[in-house]
Amino acid sequence: MNPERARRLRDEARGITRPHPLSAPLGLRKLREIRFCRLKSSQTSEAEALLSTLPGLEVNRGASPHVLVVAYEITDYTLEALERYLEDKGFHLDNSLYAKLVRALVYFSEATQRRNLAQPERLLKQSHEVYSKAWEHHAHGDHDDMPPELREYK
């Protein structure tokens, strides 16, 4: 039995659903974990009460006592903004290497998704025509400027 299977069986026995932080649902709805420093156990409940006041944000307890699971629309919130808000309020987040790596990856993917949502949608058929016309006017080796009647055929 591997550790992941053991965790899954333990969580099933406890009735806990524990999403992996990197396996968020596709689309605009995000489900993320906010991990707090293990030394201050009371801050999880305080953070839950604080985050519950934000509109459009669902907050639940995680699988361990120092984890909150938040669900939000990417157009309304980002994990980076939520964690900065908590840090500004005096909360201490988990700073283990694993937490930092997951946090950096989530920050990057959410920022990229928000940036892509702000871009106008490209119409692929029209963009193909634009590139085709540009290729026709481009000076390349497949084009002969001499009229066909002046070309000498052997």
The structure's pTM equals 0.64
pLDDT bracket for residue 154 (50, 70, 90): low
Average pLDDT, the chain: 83
Say which CATH number the domain at 22 has.
3.30.70.100
pLDDT in tens, 2-26: 777 887 788 788 777 666 554 544 5
Q: Is residue 89 part of a domain?
A: yes
How many domains does one find in the chain? Answer: 1
What are the residues whose beta carbons fall under 8 Å from the beta carbon of 79, sequence distance 6 or more?
30, 32, 34, 70, 103, 106, 107, 110
Amino acid 24: pLDDT: 46
Range of the domain at 45: 7-118
pLDDT in tens, 86-141: 999 999 999 999 999 999 999 999 999 999 888 877 666 666 677 777 777 776 66
| 57, two tokens | 């944000």
Q: Is residue 149 part of a domain?
A: no
